[in-house]
Structure 1
């Protein structure tokens, strides 16, 4: 681990929820100003999130992001004009395995993201209002997920029972080993995506696209899906409220998202002085 980048950072890839965003999903003025300062100094900046592409548009505009972004934990790379640069779909067998495990679990809601739509069977689930506030649009109610199996971007098991999600994560890993990525993007969300749908692959792909060597990249995040990019980046930053397992995999730990930790990290570690 290094307390300072050993190479000048030319590209920063940042998580959104729990990193750039406050708990109410807003951006602080300090964060907006820090990203603006990055761009003014010529440091490239983009976003990597578990969100679908259309749930990133407001933040992309507010931050002035003009590079491809990574949605669905890196499963879909989206050009600034909204066209798809690359997409990785969950294999059908892995999708069926995950759905079979999650079904009928007490206190667990199962969601599917496909073609930009958020699909649910129960629109009255207790976790739905929170997700709708975060995404900015309502779910599509379906009777079955079967018609969407060939083009699933992400499956989410969500619950207020975080211990149960940890247990489900451990149970699902060996069942889809080599077929899918399983990670908790937040304590209450367990995400299942394609093998190449991870933020580490997204960072490497975007760095190559931008012609930036990996040693000149930085990654910043707070969730269980963020260490994948920590391990590929030249320098990695964990948020102060992240779980210890996430913090241990980063080079440095900044303040919490409620303390403008992202802005602190940008100013301390990345802006050229």
Structure 2
């Protein structure tokens, strides 16, 4: 095992969206042993880097499901964008099914409905951590809105019309299962899209080449590491592309049963420092000290 790719929500961070000290120690021990560690998340870089820095870790980050890759110092190594033509078509599909979405760009993340922006992060938190109270989930979601991680705008087209804007992802949300399914069926006709989800009621839309598994393989290739020597740790469907390519696939204890069945190993939950448990277990198996 020479490279570990770790998801963030429901995986690396706990129910308070911080990183347990046990996880920090395990990651640092792996790095000291010469094992590379990278975060692979659906979050924007801005939302992903703070918990990492606060934990005292220095890690490269694959952000927005692989739409952006940054090195340990935050320098952008690669961006994979949606064309504006594809964006307008996707916007039409989502609008046709009355589905709210957030817009991820190089200018930041935007919402045209702050109340729905709170609902979408509550959905992600509750899906990853079912035992978290509604009150606590809303507190964490309010923090996301109030600290400038997401910008409110009346019309997304104001941003998209800017000549230098790059579109990375649409994060859609609807509690209406029929609307979500109908939208997903429509998106099957888009040859240039990757569509997945990271929570109960969301849809994540990126370029077909902006997937965690593709980004992790590219990172491994740069390091000269075969995928057979890569471990991927995650908890949801936007981690599947990593699981399919990695030699070691690890599902969190809080993952859905369908995710667990895809993986070769099931670790403890995110609140129980499941990342640390997985790293320690595989380091012992590989006789790494």
TM-score above 0.5: yes
Contact residue 181 and residue 198 of structure 1 kept, 8 A? yes
Decide whether aligned partners of structure 1 residues 66 and 138 sit closer, same or farther in structure 2, where only a CA change above 3 A counts: closer
Are 1:119 and 2:110 matched, yes or no?
Answer: yes
Aligned length, in residue pairs: 262
Within 5 A, what are the aligned runs for 1:72-221? 72-103=64-95, 105=97, 108-125=99-116, 126-127=118-119, 130-131=140-141, 133=143, 137-149=148-160, 151-159=166-174, 161=175, 163=177, 167-168=181-182, 170-176=184-190, 178-221=191-234
CA distance in 1, matches of 2:259, 2:203: 15
Distance 1:154 1:88 in 2: 10
Higher helix share: 2
Aligned partner of residue 14 in structure 2, secondary structure: coil
Is there any run of 5+ residues in structure 2 with no aligned partner, and where? 121-137
Residues 187, 239 of structure 1: CA spacing in aligned structure 2 closer, same or farther, 3 A cutoff?
same
C-alpha distance in structure 1 between counterparts of 2:252 and 2:183, whole Å: 22
The structure 2 residue matched to 1:263, chosen from 271, 276, 280, is 276
Deviations 1:78-110 (A, max 9, x none): 12232210000013333223322322756x531
Change (3 A) 1:131 1:97: farther
| C-alpha deviation, 1:228, in angstroms | 0.2
Shift of 1:131: 4.4
3-state SS of paired residue (2:74) = coil
Q: TM-score, normalised by structure 1?
A: 0.86
SS at match of 1:103: helix
Report the Cα distance in structure 2 between the residues aligned to 1:36 and 1:131, rounded to whole angstroms: 29
Q: What SS does structure 1 have at the residue aligned with 2:238?
A: coil
Q: Does 1:59 align with 2:80?
A: no
C-alpha separation in 2, matches of 1:45 and 1:154 = 24
Q: State the 1:72 CA deviation.
A: 0.4
Query: What SS does structure 2 have at the residue aligned with 1:81?
Result: coil
How far residue 164 of structure 1 moved from its aligned partner, in angstroms, is: 5.0
Report if aligned partners of 1:103, 1:110 keep a CA contact under 8 Å in 2.
no
Higher mean C-alpha displacement, 179-188 vs 141-150: 141-150
CA deviation profile, 1:128-153 (whole Å, cap 9, x unmatched): 66545358534222222224446211
Alpha-carbon offset, residue 67 of structure 1: 4.6
Secondary structure of the corresponding residue to residue 198 of structure 2: strand
Quote the offset at 1:187 in angstroms: 2.1
Unaligned runs of at least 5 residues, structure 1: 1-8
1:12 aligns with 2:4: yes
User: Are the structure 2 counterparts of residues 205 and 165 from structure 1 closer, same or farther at C-alpha, using a change threshold of 3 Å?
Assistant: farther
RMSD, matched Cα: 2.4
**1:217–1:116 Cα change, 3 Å:** farther
Deviates more, 1:204-213 or 1:69-78: 204-213
TM-score norm. by structure 2 comes to 0.82
Q: How many Å separate the matches in 1 of 2:281 and 2:144? A: 29
Alpha-carbon distance between aligned partners in 1 of 2:213 and 2:58, rounded to the nearest angstrom: 20
